[in-house]
A and B are shown apart, each in its own frame.
Chain A
């Protein structure tokens, strides 16, 4: 039984240069307690997918053109604002990329933390504050009592992100969406925050949807990985299956462009030739075909669909005509 099932989700933006298919028929599911990671280059649609899940798309220029988002049998895309509000923050929480902008500079940390509890649980303020302090301690802040009386700018970036995580976890959600939670932090803090996320996720048993372009981060944290390219998921596989043996040419290229300590030193990193897909285009065939070294005639004329490979027991899905699993 999955917690969240997304079927054929498409999101379109009305841009001055034309219709942008930011997300184009994405399907995936998140099981309770599991960590699913979205990886992909900038503009590949992973963040937009998350925003669509949370109902945060700017309604004037973006719309969900097709698909369903099932949250425990309920379609979030058709839910009333009130129902949505009950789920958001309560069952489903989000940690943003940049904690400096995601915390309200005019509210004390304690106020922002307790707001979730007073909104969803009608917890009295004093008790909410105690819970907030406990949660701040849980996320590893050394002075939780002092922290609640501070304003965000008085905290360091790492502390701010811990506060964000604490805020997201206060209502004990079933799913936590972390949109590049470490991008704005420096490397040592990144490691701490990732460890914290991992530890919290395991001890609290929440599902985690991690968005990242950092394959290293994903490898350490995720159970399964969904690789985005051009608004589509091109490959889904468990972490253990993906890293040793990437199937999709894009995944292969992506992995080989990561500097690695266990390989011989190279002068320059491998790059993926060509430019990313222009998002106003709607290619007839595979979006990666123009850059793909293995592209065939079929790749340019027909969109590859997901098919369970013979390796289904490894839970691998690839959308590529070239992959051996397809041909076999």
Chain B
């Protein structure tokens, strides 16, 4: 029972992958983060988060001045406008979502003028001086969110500069680019006029309304906490990443869908072909048996890959064809197992009894004989599942099966083997998933067999 639960769980997991992606991993199976290639389990994805981050909600709290749980009203909207405006200035691709700057090491804001007394901002002083000069602009904004948006001021200028550089780098910006935008005359100094010109572009309330329109979902003209873009999304690669920086957990869950589906369907295909073939050969015996089983022998002789490749070429390369091809090759042993069973069973008296009663031969095969073969057949079927998962990996490796960016367990294990020494988790976790599934498959097989055997019925 536990086994069945686990298999069902795996399959559900696989098909629930979009949901899991949405609520648990926050990565899609094909999403690449090259900067996080081959990171061990537990690595946190920071870069991703600058698209929206409001760690402890301080951005919201800062903007919600009157603390009523909404950003609304002239004053608060103007703040919003400034933020909006500033980010538009800082980021060419800013689309209304607040960026993140890692806050763990951010110093507390200490408002202290550090600008040289010449009333200009040199490149070295930017953006610190910029902020200071634009007292209204900066104070109102940075005051509230200084610990988050850490263009903070510190007495220790050198440290601050290092920090600023680091933040800009994290944002993918160069300080010089930003500076040169404001520095119209390109004299490497920002004068009050240049800053003022920049500020004249402000049309506070119109633009603020745009920001509201972006975030205000329920259309009441104000932004509630849950509407505020910037909910915390610091994501973790729970099981690490692969060589392209893809999340292993997401790919495992996605792979469950492909692997389990292919394995179960291919087993079903081979089950039906093999059981029917073996049963008919075994029951009719004689020449029929000879012809049918020699056919099987010939097919045993053909290289299995050759057949699969042929089938894939004839019927096209798709996942459906993949499992049909695998099943069409795997049924040979099944038919032998069933034939052997049927041959011993057909000498039993209840078969004679059925014949004496005038039951037709097909009915005897399918109603009387096949249920009696269920034990070995089920056991063999459950053993076939892992074999098919691994064969699928082999085919994928040859470029015939599942292709990247899609993931299957077999494929992941094959990839994992290659980097086993440097990134063991790439082999370990898919193997654990596969092992667990196979283990539970066997338990399911036992369970099905027991359930189908009336002599074990509890009454």
Contact = CB atoms under 8 A, between A and B. Distances in A.
Interface of A: 54-56, 59-60, 84-90, 93-94, 96-98, 101-108, 115-116, 119-120, 151, 153-154, 164, 167
B368 A107 contact: yes
A153 B356 contact: no
Nearest to A120: B358
Contacts of B371: 104, 106-107
Contacts of B286: 59-60
Contacts of B356: 54, 56, 88-89, 93-94
B372 interface: yes
Given A96-B352, A102-B353, 7 more contacts: A89-B356, A89-B358, A94-B356, A101-B349, A104-B354, A108-B454, A115-B363
B158 interface: no
27 contacts: A54-B355, A56-B352, A56-B356, A60-B285, A84-B358, A88-B356, A89-B357, A89-B358, A90-B358, A96-B352, A96-B353, A98-B349, A101-B348, A101-B350, A102-B350, A102-B352, A102-B353, A104-B368, A105-B372, A106-B453, A115-B363, A116-B358, A119-B357, A119-B360, A119-B363, A151-B455, A167-B357
Interface of B: 285-286, 348-350, 352-360, 363, 367-368, 371-372, 374, 452-455, 457, 459
The interface residues of chain B, by DSSP majority, are classed as: helix
A102 B348 CA distance: 7
A105 B367 contact: no
A14 B371 CA distance: 32
Contact of A103 (B350, B457, B459): B350
Nearest to B453: A106
A169 to B, nearest CB: 12
Pick the most buried of B285, B353, B374, B455: most chain A CB atoms within 10 A of its CB: B353
A115 to B, nearest CB: 6
A96 B353 CA distance: 7
Nearest to B372: A106
A102 B359 contact: no
Contacts of B350: 101-105
A90 B285 CA distance: 27
A171 to B, nearest CB: 8
Nearest to B368: A104
A116 B357 contact: yes
A84 B361 CA distance: 13
Residue among B352, B355, B357, B367 facing the most chain A CB atoms (10 A cut-off):
B357
A50 to B, nearest CB: 10
Contacts of B360: 85, 119
Nearest to A154: B459
Contacts of B354: 104, 115
Nearest to B455: A153
A105 B357 contact: no
Nearest to B348: A101
Given A89-B359, A90-B358, A106 B349 contact: no
Most chain B beta-carbon neighbours within 10 Å: one of A59, A88, A105, A106: A106
Nearest to A103: B350
B455 to A, nearest CB: 5
B367 A86 contact: no
A151 B457 contact: yes
Identify which of B350, B454, B455 gathers the most chain A CB atoms within 10 Å of its CB: B350
A322 B348 CA distance: 43
A88 B355 contact: yes
Nearest to A85: B358
Contacts of A119: 357-360, 363
Contacts of B352: 56, 96, 102
A208 B360 CA distance: 25
User: Closest 5 interchain pairs by CB?
Assistant: A89-B358, A89-B357, A106-B371, A151-B454, A101-B349
A85 B363 CA distance: 13
Given A60-B285, A104-B368, A107-B367, A153 B357 contact: no
A93 B357 contact: yes
Nearest to A92: B356
A153 B358 CA distance: 24
A60 B343 CA distance: 13
Contacts of B368: 104, 106-107
Contacts of A89: 356-359
Most buried by B among A55, A56, A59: A56
A153 B454 CA distance: 8
A250 B358 CA distance: 37
Contacts of B363: 115, 119
A116 B363 CA distance: 12
Contacts of A96: 349, 352-353
A60 B288 CA distance: 13
Nearest to A94: B356
Contacts of A93: 356-357
A120 B356 CA distance: 12
Contacts of A60: 285-286
B358 A87 contact: yes
Contact of A88 (B285, B357, B455): B357
A84 B372 CA distance: 26
Contacts of A104: 350, 353-354, 368, 371-372
